[in-house]
Amino acid sequence: EVQLVGSGGGLVQPGGSLRLSCAGSGFTFSSYWMHWVRQAPGEGLVWVSRISSDGSITNYADSVKGRFTISRDNAKNTLYLQMNSLRAEDTAVYYCARCYSSLSDFDYWGQGTLVTVSS
Amino acid sequence: QSVLTQPPSVSGAPGQRVTISCTGSRSNIGAGYDVQWYQQLPGTAPKVLIYGNNNRPSGVPDRFSGSKSGTSASLAITGLQAEDEAEYYCQSYDSSLSAVFGTGTKVTVL
């Protein structure tokens, strides 16, 4: 069974940092592109970042470019999102999701992990 | 942040047909990128309903269908059921190879 399990969310002060993780199982993790998508409370889905299957290609939304870093460890079947200089507007549930190619659909999603940026 | 526009809400009686539009531009849907549709029930992660414009993953009822034309796409739900009450999002890619989502549509079963 394919599973994506996100973790690492919590309460952080503005300007602080947090690292999210997403552990994959039940599939060949190293064969898939991986994405982060976030959803602010009561709002819609917003794409954040993606990384190629081998980690050589990364892309970011303008709103997080220069502050967030996506990475992966295929030996540990784990995706990461390092979030620095956090702002109140980064408050959201963060989902990890997998894609079988660079431009395909998100066929499996993690359960989401909540990040709250507040003093 | 959303570059794909959807109606905020649509509604219909059980058994009826409803459609949800998704309007993009020449830099995303109009550039030839495929459109996907996701269903999100309250408090849960999204689930793919349609991929590659008009394909259903196994397990998705054939009451759901998708189409694409020019810079727009649409999702149709026929034989509306109470369990279809949810939020629906379209998704595509743009010329910067970023993924883009629609604004979301709340479907209400009357």
Reduce the secondary structure of chain B to three states and give it as a string. Answer: CCCEECCCEEEECCCCCEEEEEECCCCCHHHCCCCEEEEECCCCCCEEEEECCCECCCCCCCCEEEEEECCEEEEEECCCCHHHCEEEEEEEECCCCCEEEECCEEEEEC
Q: How confident is the model at residue B31 (pLDDT cuts 50, 70, 90)?
A: very high
- Is A105–B33 a contact, with Cβ atoms under 8 angstroms apart? no
Q: How confident is the model at residue B96 (pLDDT cuts 50, 70, 90)?
A: confident
Q: Does B2 touch chain A (CB under 8 A)?
A: yes
Of B45, B87, B99, the CB nearest to A112: B45
Q: Does B36 touch chain A (CB under 8 A)?
A: yes
If you average pLDDT over residues B15-29, what whole number do you get? 96
Dump strand ranges (E) for chain A: 3-7, 10-12, 18-25, 33-39, 45-51, 58-60, 68-73, 78-83, 92-99, 108-109, 113-117
CA–CA distance, A117 with A92 (Å, rounded to integer): 9
Is 80 exceeded by the pLDDT of residue B2? no
CB neighbour list of residue A60: distance below 8 Å, 6 or more residues apart: A48, A49, A68, A70
| Tens-place pLDDT, residues B40-93 | 999 999 999 999 999 999 999 999 999 999 999 999 999 999 999 999 999 999
- Is A109–B47 a contact, with Cβ atoms under 8 angstroms apart? yes
CA–CA distance, A102 with A100 (Å, rounded to integer): 7
Instruction: Check residue B3 and give its pLDDT.
Output: 84
CB neighbour list of residue A47: distance below 8 Å, 6 or more residues apart: A35, A37, A61, B98, B99, B100, B101
Q: What percent of chain B has pLDDT over 70?
A: 98
If you average pLDDT over residues A52-56, what whole number do you get? 96
* Chain A CB contacts of B99 below 8 Å: 35, 37, 47, 50
